[in-house]
Amino acid sequence: MKSEQAKHKNNLRRQETISGLLFVSPMMIGLIVLTLLPIIATFVLSLADWNFVQGFKGITWVGLDNFTRLFREETFHISMRNNLIFLLTVPAYLAVSMALAILINKYVYMKSYFKVAFFMPYISSVVAVAIVWQVLFHPSSGPVNQFLMSIGIDNPPKWIADPNFALISVMMISVWISIGYNMIVYMAGLQSIPKDLYEAADIDGASSWVQLRHITIPMLSPTTFFLLITGVISSFKAFDLIAVMTAGGPMRSTSMLVWYLYDEAFVSLRVGYASSIAVVLFGCVLIITGIQWLAQKKWVNY
């Protein structure tokens, strides 16, 4: 009798396992085909010299030559430097987003209107946003420079047409786009802070600044950590704005790793070399994320 019950339980477990595998198989197949296999192929092709127009017969294995040539290439150094500078947009829009979230959450009525207003740039088409900012930043007839000349600035910057200001211009647009999403997440984080903490602080006579410093910011640290991780990863993937607005120019001043990778893979058709750029990009993101993960133990309060 016991053996029959044990067999019945085993059959049920087997059926549940098979059913579970069938339910998750579409997602697993998509993950393997669309994510894992391309990652493996990238690492493999980084060791080869291949023009995909020639087919698989055109693959020539070169070992680490792609990486050797990559680290000697001036364009790679410029793209890496630009990417590291572009990282400064992350703390910039996090600080602005947190400040706006706190102000709107505490002092502003019609919160829903401001949420939608700040969130619109994030959900708008990047191409449309980029074209609008191209018009705004036009060197001679753009509204930005027209305004600057009207207040007495005779030679305003040429913005995206000037190698000295092009990257700064793209960074400002990126900050403007990203504020809405981060502000919404911060406002959700503010809702999760227990009101008892603020009531106790009020009873103790703590000022608004003290409450902000010792309650709000520490309690928002998990939210900040999440946005910091995702923001850094997104900054290394910056491509769409650059592709529409500057195409890496002028004079490679806005060239970044993903744009450099795209240019090598789909313009120069050097897939092996482009794969080595992707591997370096993967390594950079992995190292920075690892450092953030280790450092969060000292400043993130759960």
CATH code: domain of residue 223: 1.10.3720.10
pLDDT of amino acid 20: 83
Q: Are residues 164 and 221 both part of a single domain?
A: yes
pLDDT of amino acid 138: 86
Considering the entire predicted model, what is its pTM?
0.86
Domain that holds residue 189: 87-255
**Position 64 in a domain:** no
**Position 211 in a domain:** yes
Give the tens place of pLDDT for each residue, 147-164.
888 888 888 888 998 899
Per-residue pLDDT band at 295 (split at 50, 70, 90): confident
Query: Is the pLDDT confidence value at 95 over 80?
Result: yes
Query: Is the pLDDT confidence value at 85 over 80?
Result: yes
pLDDT of amino acid 57: 80
Per-residue pLDDT band at 111 (split at 50, 70, 90): confident
Which range (34-38, 105-109, 278-282) has the least confidence? 105-109
Greater pLDDT, 200 or 12 = 200
Please tell me the distance from the alpha carbon of residue 91 to that of residue 80, in angstroms, as a whole number: 19
Q: Are residues 249 and 167 both part of a single domain?
A: yes
Please tell me the distance from the alpha carbon of residue 83 to that of residue 69, in angstroms, as a whole number: 20
Q: Are residues 21 and 137 both part of a single domain?
A: no
**Position 166 in a domain:** yes
**Position 217 in a domain:** yes
Q: Tell me how many domains the chain contains.
A: 2
Give the tens place of pLDDT for each residue, 175-228.
999 999 999 999 999 988 888 888 888 888 888 889 888 888 999 999 999 999
Cβ atoms 30, 43 nearer than 8 A:
no
**Position 56 in a domain:** no
Give the tens place of pLDDT for each residue, 242-283.
998 888 888 899 999 999 999 998 888 889 999 999 999 999
pLDDT, the chain, mean: 88
**Position 268 in a domain:** no
Please give the average per-residue pLDDT across 23-43, as a whole number: 90
Query: Is the pLDDT confidence value at 2 over 70?
Result: no
Asked if the bond preceding 139 is cis, omega within 30° of 0, the reply is no
